[in-house]
Structure 1
Amino acid sequence: MRHSKLIYITRADGYLCMIDATKLDDDKKIKILEKAIEKFGKAYIAQKCGVSRQTIYRYLKREIQSIPNEFIQCVSNFLSIEELGDIVYGLRTVEVDENIVLSVIVKMKRDPNFRAFFLSLMNQFLGEYIQDASTSYVITKDDVDRFLNYVKATKSNITYKTIKNYFLKIIAELNYTLTAQRIKDYITKQMAISKGRAYHISKVLKLFIKEIIIPKNSSLGRELYNSFKTIKVEKEYSPEHLSLEDLKKIFNSIEHLGAKAFFLILAETGLRVGEVLNLRVEQIDFEHRIIHISKVSETKRAYISFLHESTAKWLKDVYLPYREEFVNKYEKKIRNININVEVWKKRLFPFSENDMRKTIKNAMWKILKREFRLYDLRSFFASYMLKQGVSPMIVNLLQGRAPPQQFQILQNHYFVVSDIELQQYYDKYAPRLL
């Protein structure tokens, strides 16, 4: 009986296509396109394969009956061999376990004819991988899942989304195979396009190799890790010079009450945008005017922050009733779009982040005739406190900037400050918009 096989075609750029599109029917071409769009989106696939998004839309709607083979071969490069196998041949690689692999090895040892047949197939279809096995690493679905789970558990939601977006595109463009030379060539190519992009790509690859490959294959992992350096990018952006009076005017001009509260907390605490955005109502102690961030990582320590008395009163009397009304109004609609309603209901800011940012930017343009990054409010807070004569260490503690180990050493041996004293510094020197 003749068995179907994935057919590898050498492309002009030296990489391998996983399929021969001339042997596919239209249904399978559509499934390949749908799977690639599910992973990377229409815009990305359209850009990489040289067609318009409208053309892709017409392919999916079957308004164009014949999909070009060259286009599908390009699209197939963004899928793993397992995904293509499932679509093209209905193969399920997860059904091949260790016992089957051992059985094949035993049969190869005992049966010379089978051994010759099997090795011939391996050389024909996997020769490149066998030859490069000691210097290359093939990324599996398990590797992808483990890495994304690690990032999700250790990074903020915004950082997780950024890394995920970069990572999935990187491994697709590298055909799920890492070698020292391929990584260097890839980063060099990205450098020519954008140093900023190359910087993010090099950081993501370093993190993946460190957390996933090195624990599995130490020698190969370290070879890959040391084969390239994290791209250095000179920071061209300088934080805006902001005055307290300008921030007060912007605050008073913000129309969206949720965005108003969001802006108020950012300006008066100097916390990171992601930290404020992800706050839950239960993290705010309105009686004692304390924000419990409770976040510790290798580079960040967000201990606790505080609210001014007037701010706590405004949030409690004005903002929370508005928020409660919003939650009650849209809870049913949220349930219908398959979002975890219980988690959503606990958020201090259950609104669309884009809507809040847009409203704040409109207020910036109205007052300043320009806009600045919300992250600049963090710089404003630090500068404002330092100008009041507050110790840099106090500022670092209030903004969660002291690393955990450094914080512990300072607290235990050199710099003892209680939560009450920290709040006293805040009450006396922190900026007030109300």
Structure 2
Amino acid sequence: MITISLRPFWHQQTKCISIHFDNDNNISGYVKAFPDVSWNNTNKTFFIPHYRNAISDLFNYFRQKGWYVDYSALKTTPEPETTESKGQGSPIKKLPPLLEEQKIQINKFGKWLEQKRFSKNTVNTYVEVTSLFLRYINFKQIESITNRSIEQFNYDFICNAKKSVSYQNQCISGIKHYIDFKGIEIDKIDIKRPNKDKKLPNVLSKEEIKTLFETTNNLKHKTLLSLVYSAGLRIGEALNLRHRDIDFERGLIHIKAAKGRKDRYTLLSRGIVPMLQTYLSHYNPKHYLFEGRNGEQYTQVSARQVLKKSLVNAGIQKYATLHTLRHSFATHLLESGTDIRYIQELLGHNSPKTTMIYTHVSTTNLKDIKNPFDSL
């Protein structure tokens, strides 16, 4: 298996991440395609500036090729490599690697998940967290998977390491699917899944959205961001679109096999049609609506870099992700008086409770409240 090593690197007094691999033109070409990659001739290495999601972006980018990513040299990693041993103060410095037979089983596990039609991201996540669990039982010299071993892992590597609720749920789900894959019979796993934090979504105002698009000059980038916002799309849904999914006559976009393997229709804005037609005429994509340099599907990593650059150009200081555009679409619909049931259908939510969160960030009703400070 090809191994990509990520290491801390300083360039001109700037914190960076260097990318190391065995010399191979195919690997080198793929590394060069990552946004903002540079070559340092002195140290003979590729590197990128260190930013907030740099490690996870690199990790997901290389995992798309099925390559193993070693980021143990970096202090901040998406996967916990160190933790406190239960009841002791000495940390586990590094987990041992998977045994050869475990590697074979993990590869089979990944294919089994794919056959169950899990998304690519879910498959990668479950494979990674399960690999971590197997490395943990190797470290503890545990011979068989039991309730006790799972509870130990949950305490040592999740609770004690103060990992997020979302990460904990991913680990438990991944291990449960692996147990199902292996046909292992154990007692019911009695690990209480914590409720997720009920955080309100970040939302950009209509003025900020307008400025964001006005300062994005690249046609492909502008079309991508505009489509995500105007149709309330998840980024994965936008990148999976094909030309035939756009119904110009009916003013609809057909979203196929979205989250939960559900199809739905959402709005095609009349205002975006001229831009979209110009984009199609200029770029002439062959398979996907948005394609990379070699005709491959445009990556989420590239899309995030597009938004990041546009936010800087627009002078928007507010923290925002591609999903913020979807949140903003729903909030702006609600503020304009659209029935929340229609918003639920457009977003593809199973339950209206999920959509109701936008009532907490909408400013329509809040503006009508008279602040007591104003009457002092």
Q: Determine if the TM-score, normalized by the shorter chain, exceeds 0.5.
A: yes
Distance 1:276 1:386, change over 3 A: same
C-alpha distance in structure 1 between counterparts of 2:144 and 2:218, whole Å: 48
Structure 1 letter corresponding to 2:312: W
Contact kept, 8 Å, 2:130 with 2:178, in 1: the verdict is no
Structure 1 letter corresponding to 2:132: K
What is the 5 A alignment of 1:25-424? 40-44=68-72, 77-82=96-101, 141-142=104-105, 144-151=107-114, 153-175=116-138, 177-190=144-157, 191-196=159-164, 199-210=166-177, 212-213=179-180, 216-217=183-184, 220-221=185-186, 223=187, 225-235=188-198, 237-295=199-257, 298=260, 301-316=262-277, 318-324=278-284, 345-351=286-292, 352-353=298-299, 354-367=301-314, 368-402=316-350
Distance 1:366 1:152, change over 3 A: farther
Larger helix percent: 1
Structure 2 letter corresponding to 1:347: Y
Distance 1:199 1:178, change over 3 A: farther
Residues 369-391 of structure 1 show CA distances to partners (whole Å, capped at 9, x for unaligned) of 34411112222122111222222
Contact kept, 8 Å, 1:147 with 1:211, in 2: the verdict is no
Residues 274-303 of structure 1 show CA distances to partners (whole Å, capped at 9, x for unaligned) of 1112212222223333211122665x7441
Counterpart of 1:25 in structure 2 is: none
C-alpha distance in structure 1 between counterparts of 2:241 and 2:161, whole Å: 37
Unaligned 5+ segments in structure 2 are 1-65, 77-93, 293-297, 352-376
C-alpha distance in structure 2 between counterparts of 1:271 and 1:215, whole Å: 36
Contact kept, 8 Å, 1:266 with 1:273, in 2: the verdict is yes
Q: Which has the larger radius of gyration?
A: 1
Structure 2 letter corresponding to 1:79: L
C-alpha distance in structure 1 between counterparts of 2:149 and 2:170, whole Å: 16
Residues 238-269 of structure 1 show CA distances to partners (whole Å, capped at 9, x for unaligned) of 32232112101101111332221111111111
Query: Please, which moves more after superposition, 143-152 or 351-360?
Result: 143-152
Task: Say which SS state the counterpart of residue 389 (structure 1) adopts.
Answer: coil
C-alpha distance in structure 1 between counterparts of 2:283 and 2:129, whole Å: 34
Instruction: Report the Cα offset of residue 162 of structure 1.
Output: 3.3
Distance 1:39 1:268, change over 3 A: closer
Contact kept, 8 Å, 1:254 with 1:360, in 2: the verdict is no
Instruction: Report the Cα offset of residue 215 of structure 1.
Output: 8.2
Structure 1 letter corresponding to 2:149: R
Contact kept, 8 Å, 1:270 with 1:382, in 2: the verdict is yes
Distance 1:201 1:371, change over 3 A: closer
Contact kept, 8 Å, 2:264 with 2:346, in 1: the verdict is yes
Counterpart of 1:410 in structure 2 is: none
Contact kept, 8 Å, 1:158 with 1:274, in 2: the verdict is no
Identity over aligned pairs, percent: 21
Structure 1 letter corresponding to 2:287: K
Distance 1:231 1:140, change over 3 A: farther
C-alpha distance in structure 2 between counterparts of 1:296 and 1:240, whole Å: 23
- For this pair of structures, how many residues does the alignment match? 257
C-alpha distance in structure 1 between counterparts of 2:258 and 2:135, whole Å: 33
